[in-house]
Amino acid sequence: MSTPSETEAAAGEPAASPKTRIRIRDAEATRTRILEAAKREFARNGLGGARVDVIAEKAKANKRMIYHYFESKEGLFQTVLENAYLDIRAAEQRLNLDNLDPRTALERLVRFTWDYYLKNPEFITLVNSENLHRAKHLKKSELVAATSRKLVSMVGGIVERGVAQGVFRPGVDPVQLNITIAAIGFYYFTNRFTGTIIYERDLMAKEALEERLSFNIETIIRLVSA
Amino acid sequence: MSTPSETEAAAGEPAASPKTRIRIRDAEATRTRILEAAKREFARNGLGGARVDVIAEKAKANKRMIYHYFESKEGLFQTVLENAYLDIRAAEQRLNLDNLDPRTALERLVRFTWDYYLKNPEFITLVNSENLHRAKHLKKSELVAATSRKLVSMVGGIVERGVAQGVFRPGVDPVQLNITIAAIGFYYFTNRFTGTIIYERDLMAKEALEERLSFNIETIIRLVSA
Amino acid sequence: MSTPSETEAAAGEPAASPKTRIRIRDAEATRTRILEAAKREFARNGLGGARVDVIAEKAKANKRMIYHYFESKEGLFQTVLENAYLDIRAAEQRLNLDNLDPRTALERLVRFTWDYYLKNPEFITLVNSENLHRAKHLKKSELVAATSRKLVSMVGGIVERGVAQGVFRPGVDPVQLNITIAAIGFYYFTNRFTGTIIYERDLMAKEALEERLSFNIETIIRLVSA
Amino acid sequence: MSTPSETEAAAGEPAASPKTRIRIRDAEATRTRILEAAKREFARNGLGGARVDVIAEKAKANKRMIYHYFESKEGLFQTVLENAYLDIRAAEQRLNLDNLDPRTALERLVRFTWDYYLKNPEFITLVNSENLHRAKHLKKSELVAATSRKLVSMVGGIVERGVAQGVFRPGVDPVQLNITIAAIGFYYFTNRFTGTIIYERDLMAKEALEERLSFNIETIIRLVSA
DNA sequence: AATGAATGAGTGTTCATTCAT
DNA sequence: AATGAATGAACACTCATTCAT
């Protein structure tokens, strides 16, 4: 979100020579601007539909720089995608669900997932694009798989605690639960355009969003309750 | 599936000269072959990624014919998409859920939806592609909205009967229920490539599919149960 | 040289429908124009230095047609090169050296080779370009190797007859002889620009050309004479 | 081969501070490394096909240095080419053919030329590249023309002595002789890739090379013999 | 002396679409 | 009804060169 350069600039370090700072900053800042512009463009048009020229222009960078930093359009997409996954996984970890009572923890996760999709719509389109390409790029990333494991075990822990406390029923597979939590939010957003036509309802209206979130929490709680 | 041409010809004009009949049939057959080839190509590569040349080749038709029958690539996509929606809606109507007891009816709908996605994977990619384009093409189709209304009211009827019989709790919105039924299947399939990496599990293995379907039925039944 | 279309047109066939002829002609003519333009451009600038745009423009063809007929720039180069080799080999066969006395035959071959290089300077540059690319394209052509075999055996025949008649010395390897006949002409032309500087002489002046040809004939005759 | 810097430093300013000396040496060394890398890259890919980035990388130098020392890619090529010509001309002078008997001298020159091409294959490709560019760069060098004059007069001297001694026939133009000596070696090497295909023989095999050299000596001796 | 970041003009290639028959 | 040839606008990617230190 915030460019490292801005952060650095804000922090100050008046003793450092300006020369050094600006040089380092420019390179890193350019890279970041490219990534940000690429995320938008890929999200809006998919991998195939995205235009390298547009990315360069929006990033206020030279097209050549994209190839310098990311080798190819696909290399850029891969980095954008990986970052997107790492970002949501990191945010999930920051929820500290392990310290909450199981029911609250689960509700909080459903709510977080919903909000994340709502505020980061690019994530959804990026994932869709990647699936159109049969996860060709994600396959190369070990980091994403490793980080995802933590999420599953976190949910597994919540379920276990719930069962131990007698509030959750036994036998709920954490992976299936995870998938369902994601599904009921993801589907709603990814299909919001066709959904608006099919269901003849503005799915993105404020009340519609609130109603759906409540429905989703209800769905998950009922699913696991003893 | 069944070529409309054959049906028409059989039903139709027995007096027409064989030559004419064959020509008509050929024309209709060409149109159908194009649609079938297009569905595949659009499903595999999205609207933007699909190649008109490839569609023509796979349909064993001249490229010019595509423009003759469908005006443009987007016109072709629109027809393919509309057909896809009409097909699933028609299949749903054929389920005759109104005559079943509410619980069985609901389970049958969940199972049907799951099976339909499984056996018609193009449907999912077409819908995704359309959403990437903000439902630009579907907007033009009144038929799809009208047909979808029937589905919602059918589910609404099941819920009502369930509530009346005391097996379902009151206050469940049929649209939300519909969305959730779709979501828990759709998400699983559309993200099967990234999902296989994230969850480190072969989501398309036979047991995995069976397990998921059971989980989904459980989810829906618990959601509506009194 | 002569475009097939022209030949056809000259030949006449007044009975054929113009429609058919023009259609066939257009496609073939375009292909030929592209090849002719490509030969020039590749000869002037090498494979790497040649510009597809320029070829298209000079051929009065659309760039897309180049890719339609030849798949790629390299595919086009390959065809041009193969044609060049087939052309010179065919011309050599047309010399009918088998019926001449050995000495005359050899002189005629030296003279022909010289004249061919002089009048088809593209041949030399094409061959140079191909060698810069380590014969990558020619390797794919079986036809060229087969056709060249005829040349070698033709020269071998001349040598044999000369030896039998006592005018040539025995033991002259036809391949070496062939190489030398080519070398003393090829080198002169391929290095005419640097040569003009090194030897401070206009190598392409009329007298210079005549003088060199005589020298070459002398060289070859002395080389084989008994 | 030998770094001019070392020579200069040794000859030059013994009083200079080591720091300065090292710097000068480094600078000169960088220049030399660039030239060496450039010779390779130009030889392998021609002027047009050579990449400045590659040259910089292989020379372990910054790209900017190339422009600092040689102004442009073409400036670099020009220097490389000039050096190549000066190198072969210098080597020829070192042969001291004036003191040998004419026949031995001539044989030695043919052998030297052959060996030089064999051991310095870059020379051939550089010359070819320069001729593709119509000797644009060599034209600017007076030194090369001057040095080449010496070679021609050396050969002229050999011929004269041979005629005087009655072993060579009169009337052999030293320039033509020179060209032929070069041609019969140059052509063989420059066309070794296409030649291998055309003549269906490994032209670079040890025996093939020996055979060709003998043939070339025979050719030249027969050409000039009385 | 030396460097890493940046650039603009091109380069081969692709694609949906139309023309002529 | 059907076809093969042709097109122009665009696209991902490249490269020699310069800028700012």
Say whether pLDDT at C6 is over 60: no
Residue limits of CATH 1.10.357.10 in chain C: 77-226
Burial group, residue A226, by CB count within 10 angstroms (0-12, 13-18, 19+)? exposed
Q: What is the DSSP string of B11-35?
A: HS-TTS-HHHHHHHHHHHHHHHHHH
The Cα B89–Cα B182 span in angstroms is 13
- Look at B5 and A182; give whichever has higher pLDDT: A182
The Cα C141–Cα C87 span in angstroms is 14
Contact status, residue C61 vs residue C30, Cβ threshold 8 Å: yes
Say whether pLDDT at B24 is over 70: no
Tokens representing residue C106 in the block: 């050899």
3-state secondary structure of D151: helix
The band of B29, judged by pLDDT with boundaries at 50, 70 and 90, is confident
Lowest mean pLDDT among A116-130, A138-152, B17-31, D162-176: B17-31
Lowest mean pLDDT among A7-16, B33-42, D39-48: A7-16
- Looking at beta carbons, which residues of chain A come within 8 Å of B186? 183, 187, 191
Q: How many C-beta neighbours within 10 Å does residue A112 have?
A: 18
Residue among D109, D111, D123, D124 at smallest CA distance from D187: D124
- Report the nucleotide nearest the CA of residue C71, measured to C1': E13
How confident is the model over B47-62, as a mean pLDDT? 94
Amino acid identity, residue B76?
L
* Structure confidence by residue, pLDDT tens digits, A188-204: 999 999 999 999 999 99
Q: How many C-beta neighbours within 10 Å does residue B10 have?
A: 8
Q: How many C-beta neighbours within 10 Å does residue A71 have?
A: 12
Contact status, residue A107 vs residue A216, Cβ threshold 8 Å: no
Q: Does the distance separating the beta carbons of D186 and C195 come in below 8 Å?
A: no
Residue limits of CATH 1.10.10.60 in chain A: 17-71
Q: What is the pLDDT of residue D6?
A: 35
Q: What is the DSSP string of A119-178?
A: H-HHHHHHHHHHHHTTTTTGGG-HHHHHHHHHHHHHHHHHHHHHHHTTSB-S---HHHHH
Q: What is the pLDDT of residue D142?
A: 86
A/B Cβ contact: 3+ pairs below 8 Å: yes
Smallest Cβ distance to B48: which of A49, A198, A218? A49
Amino acid identity, residue C112?
F
Q: What is the DSSP string of chain D?
A: ---HHHHHHHHS-TTS-HHHHHHHHHHHHHHHHHHHHHHHHHHHHHHHH--HHHHHHHTT--HHHHHHHHSSHHHHHHHHHHHHHHHHHHHHHTT-GGGS-HHHHHHHHHHHHHHHHHH-HHHHHHHHHHHHTTTTTGGG-HHHHHHHHHHHHHHHHHHHHHHHTTSB-S---HHHHHHHHHHHHHHHHHTHHHHHHHTTS-TTSHHHHHHHHHHHHHHHHHHHB-
Please give the CATH number for the structural domain made up of A77-226.
1.10.357.10
Q: What is the pLDDT of residue C14?
A: 35
When computed from its CA atoms, the radius of gyration of chain A, rounded to whole angstroms, is 21
Longest distance between any two alpha carbons in chain D, whole Å:
65
Q: Assign residue C77 a region (left: φ > 0; alpha: ψ between -120 and 50; beta: otherwise).
A: alpha
The Cα C24–Cα C4 span in angstroms is 11
The Cα A43–Cα A182 span in angstroms is 19
* Structure confidence by residue, pLDDT tens digits, B117-154: 999 999 999 999 999 999 999 998 889 999 999 999 99
Our measurement of CA C117 to C1' E10, in angstroms, reads: 34
Say whether pLDDT at C157 is over 90: yes
Q: What is the pLDDT of residue B67?
A: 95
In chain D, the N- to C-terminal Cα span, in Å, equals 41
Bases on strand F under 7 Å from any protein CB: 1-21
The Cα C191–Cα C198 span in angstroms is 10
Our measurement of CA A53 to C1' E16, in angstroms, reads: 20
Smallest Cβ distance to A197: which of B128, B138, B222? B138
The Cα D38–Cα D26 span in angstroms is 18
Q: Does the distance separating the beta carbons of C193 and D190 come in below 8 Å?
A: no
Say whether pLDDT at C9 is over 80: no
CB-based contacts of D5: which residues, under 8 Å, 6+ apart?
D24, D25, D27, D28, D29, D32
Distances (CA, A) of D139 to B48, C188, C208: 54, 18, 20
The Cα A189–Cα B209 span in angstroms is 24
Tokens representing residue C157 in the block: 């025949």
The Cα D119–Cα D128 span in angstroms is 17
Question: Residues of chain B with pLDDT > 70: what percent?
Answer: 89
Give pTM, 2 decimals. Answer: 0.86
Name the packing angle between helices C142-164 and C174-190 (round to 10°). 110
Contact status, residue D190 vs residue C151, Cβ threshold 8 Å: no
Q: What is the pLDDT of residue A216?
A: 98
CB-based contacts of A124: which residues, under 8 Å, 6+ apart?
A117, A186, A189, A190
**DSSP-assigned letter for residue A12:** -
CA distance A31 to chain B (A): 26
Amino acid identity, residue B162?
G
Say whether pLDDT at B36 is over 60: yes
Q: Which residue of B has its CA nearest to A180?
A: B184
In chain A, the N- to C-terminal Cα span, in Å, equals 42
Lowest mean pLDDT among B20-29, C88-97, C138-147, C202-211: B20-29
Say whether pLDDT at A22 is over 80: no
Q: What is the pLDDT of residue A26?
A: 72
Q: What is the pLDDT of residue D4?
A: 37
- Looking at beta carbons, which residues of chain D come within 8 Å of C188? 179, 183
Tokens representing residue D106 in the block: 């001539």
The band of B25, judged by pLDDT with boundaries at 50, 70 and 90, is low
Amino acid identity, residue B59?
A
Dihedral angle of Cα D109, D115, D119, D125, to the nearest 10 degrees: 70
The Cα C59–Cα B18 span in angstroms is 48
CA distance A24 to chain B (A): 35
Q: Does the distance separating the beta carbons of A215 and B219 come in below 8 Å?
A: no
The Cα A124–Cα B128 span in angstroms is 11
When computed from its CA atoms, the radius of gyration of chain B, rounded to whole angstroms, is 21
**DSSP-assigned letter for residue A205:** S
Q: What are phi and psi of B191, to 5 degrees?
A: -100, 25
The Cα B118–Cα B185 span in angstroms is 9
Say whether pLDDT at C202 is over 90: yes
Say whether pLDDT at A57 is over 60: yes
Mean pLDDT, chain A, integer: 89
Contact status, residue C110 vs residue C220, Cβ threshold 8 Å: yes
**DSSP-assigned letter for residue D98:** G
Q: Which of D187, D189, D203, D204 would you mutate first to test chain C, the one with the most C CBs within 10 A?
A: D187
Handedness of CA B208, B209, B213, B214 (dihedral sign): negative
Q: What is the pLDDT of residue A222?
A: 98
CATH architecture observed for domain D17-71: Orthogonal Bundle (1.10)
The Cα B188–Cα B203 span in angstroms is 8
Residue with token string 């593209």:
C122
Residue among A196, D57, D186 at smallest CA distance from B179: A196
Tokens representing residue A4 in the block: 């490292």
The Cα C127–Cα B222 span in angstroms is 78
Amino acid identity, residue B10?
A
Residue among A225, A5, A215 at smallest CA distance from A110: A215
**Touching partners of B (3+ C-beta pairs < 8 Å):** A
Indicate the helix (H) or strand (E) that contains A5: helix A4-11
The Cα D209–Cα D203 span in angstroms is 7
Query: What pLDDT tens digit does each residue of chain D (226 aa) get?
Result: 333 333 333 333 344 444 444 445 577 889 999 999 999 999 999 999 999 999 999 999 999 999 999 999 999 999 999 999 999 999 999 999 998 999 999 999 999 999 999 999 999 999 999 999 999 999 988 899 999 999 999 999 999 999 999 999 999 999 999 999 999 999 999 999 999 999 999 999 999 999 999 999 999 999 999 8
Q: What is the pLDDT of residue D25?
A: 57
Mean pLDDT, chain D, integer: 90
Q: Does the distance separating the beta carbons of D188 and C186 come in below 8 Å?
A: no
The Cα C24–Cα C26 span in angstroms is 6
Report angle CA B47, A187, A35 to the nearest 5 degrees: 65
- Looking at beta carbons, which residues of chain A come within 8 Å of B225? 222
Contact status, residue B217 vs residue B224, Cβ threshold 8 Å: no
Contact status, residue C204 vs residue C192, Cβ threshold 8 Å: yes
The Cα B185–Cα B111 span in angstroms is 9
The Cα C140–Cα C160 span in angstroms is 32
Say whether pLDDT at C217 is over 60: yes
3-state secondary structure of D168: strand
Residue with token string 């890719």:
C67
Query: Which residues interact with strand E by a CB < 7 Å criterion?
Result: A 23, 26-27, 29-30, 61-65, 68; B 50-53, 63-64, 67, 72-74; C 19, 22-23, 50-53, 63-64, 67, 72-74; D 23, 26-27, 30, 61-65, 68
Contact status, residue C78 vs residue C137, Cβ threshold 8 Å: yes
Our measurement of CA C129 to C1' E11, in angstroms, reads: 19
Dihedral angle of Cα D35, D40, D43, D45, to the nearest 10 degrees: -110
Residue among D124, D113, D122 at smallest CA distance from D190: D124
Say whether pLDDT at A218 is over 80: yes
Q: What is the pLDDT of residue D8?
A: 35
Residues linked to residue C168 through DSSP beta bridges, in sequence order = C225
Tokens representing residue B124 in the block: 């999912």
